[in-house]
Amino acid sequence: MNATGYFTHRDCWKHEMGAGHPECPERLDAIEDRLLITGVGDALVRREAPQAPLGDIELAHDRMLVAAIRGLCDQLADDITAGGPAYAQIDPDTSLNVHTWNAALRAAGAVIAATDSVLAGEMENAFCAVRPPGHHAERNKAMGFCFFNNIAIAAKYALERHGLKRVAIVDFDVHHGNGTENILSGDDRVLMVSFFQHPFFPYSGFEGHASNMVNLPVPAYTKGMDVRELIEMMWIPRLEEFKPEMIFISAGFDAHREDDMGQMGLVEQDYAWITQRIKDVAKRHSKGRIVSSLEGGYNLSALARSVEAHIRVLADL
């Protein structure tokens, strides 16, 4: 009952966006290696991620977007057979290969299956080691390394399919989760709390947001101690008042001091502290129920150490 699940699938390694792209399969290798050599992996309940049913993905996305991504993957396979390029570009940073469709279905399927397992009481919480990540994907738009918004899908799934009345989303990636906000803004069954470097990609989230969004834009070079103080003042009271029945985490680790994708100053202990504070809220209001899913984190060593710190707290190790 107090177990922590670990959901992933080999298909998540097969999606890649070209040589030298920071959102690379080696990110998952770094995490797996770290969990193996530290023994942390032995304490987790390891599960294969199923493919998400399209009807569940369409809880958060328009059918047209889902069909478009599938169509691009199919078209790409045909083009490659005819001698064409190996990638189809969606935006300057984001492209798909022939495996992207299956990887995206597994990534969304992981968070859905983790949600089922946690709500069934098979485990207390779970971490999904998946890619592509999700929090930049909007209802109608794939962007910023993201195709389907895994966490938004899981939140909607918990509300619509399991009948929960209140779920919280915590996003500690260095970038604003514009996609999650786009999908869930104004839905009072959801409370989303986040911080993000500002001004910074995707240049959103700093003005005019709905009352169910607690957005904390912070300047470059903000350190962990300042982030902790903001969380204590701005996130925790709102979460306590909201009393979520379940908490979802968009777990990006690119606010780490060693991660050059962003310019913030968090370290492993900060991720452990944030996770513990979320866990405290979950213990009080949510029967401990947390599903966390990988978003960013591009310095492989810092990513692996930070995920370990995050999982150690989730699993009480």
* 187 phi and psi angles, rounded to 5 deg: -90, 105
Cβ-closest position to Zn ion: 296
Comparison of 11 and 254: residue with beta carbon closer to Zn ion = 254
175 carries an active-site annotation = no
Comparison of 116 and 173: residue with beta carbon closer to Zn ion = 173
| Separation between Cα atoms, residue 198 and residue 243, nearest integer Å | 29
- Decide: is 270 part of the binding site for Zn ion (CB under 5 A): no
Q: Which stretch binds Zn ion (CB under 5 A): 16-24, 90-98, 206-214, 249-257?
A: 249-257
Least separation in angstroms between CB 258 and Zn ion: 14
Q: What is the dihedral of CA 189, 194, 199, 204, to 10 degrees?
A: -20
- Decide: is 173 part of the binding site for Zn ion (CB under 5 A): yes
Least separation in angstroms between CB 200 and Zn ion: 9
Partners of 266 in the beta sheet?
A: 256
Q: Which stretch binds Zn ion (CB under 5 A): 10-18, 49-57, 177-185, 292-300?
A: 292-300
Q: Residue 82 corresponds to which tokens in the numbers above?
A: 């005819």
Q: Which stretch binds Zn ion (CB under 5 A): 122-130, 171-179, 214-222, 240-248?
A: 171-179
- Decide: is 131 part of the binding site for Zn ion (CB under 5 A): no
Pairing relationship of beta strands 125-128 and 190-197 according to DSSP bridges: unpaired
| Separation between Cα atoms, residue 141 and residue 69, nearest integer Å | 10
- Decide: is 175 part of the binding site for Zn ion (CB under 5 A): yes
- Decide: is 252 part of the binding site for Zn ion (CB under 5 A): yes
Return the number of other C-beta atoms located less than 10 Å from residue 50's C-beta: 16
Helix (H, G, I), strand (E, B) or coil at 185: coil
- Decide: is 179 part of the binding site for Zn ion (CB under 5 A): no
Strands (E), 137-244: 167-171, 190-197, 213-218
Q: Answer left, alpha or beta for residue 9, where phi above 0 means left and psi between -120 and 50 means alpha.
A: beta
Q: Which stretch binds Zn ion (CB under 5 A): 20-28, 92-100, 115-123, 247-255?
A: 247-255
With tokens 């959801």, the residue in question is 190
- Decide: is 124 part of the binding site for Zn ion (CB under 5 A): no
| Separation between Cα atoms, residue 47 and residue 113, nearest integer Å | 9
| Separation between Cα atoms, residue 230 and residue 66, nearest integer Å | 37
Residues 6+ apart with CB under 8 A from 13: 25, 28, 29, 103
| Separation between Cα atoms, residue 188 and residue 247, nearest integer Å | 15
Strands (E), 29-133: 45-48, 88-91, 94-96, 125-128
Comparison of 134 and 296: residue with beta carbon closer to Zn ion = 296
Which one is catalytic: 9, 99, 135, 136? 136
Binds Zn ion by CB under 5 A, chosen from 296, 299, 300, 312: 296
Comparison of 132 and 252: residue with beta carbon closer to Zn ion = 252
Least separation in angstroms between CB 151 and Zn ion: 13
Comparison of 177 and 288: residue with beta carbon closer to Zn ion = 177
Q: Which stretch binds Zn ion (CB under 5 A): 90-98, 169-177, 224-232, 265-273?
A: 169-177
Least separation in angstroms between CB 252 and Zn ion: 4
Q: How many residues bind Zn ion (CB under 5 A)?
A: 5
Residues engaged in binding Zn ion (CB under 5 A) = 173, 175, 252, 254, 296
Residues acting as catalytic residues: 136
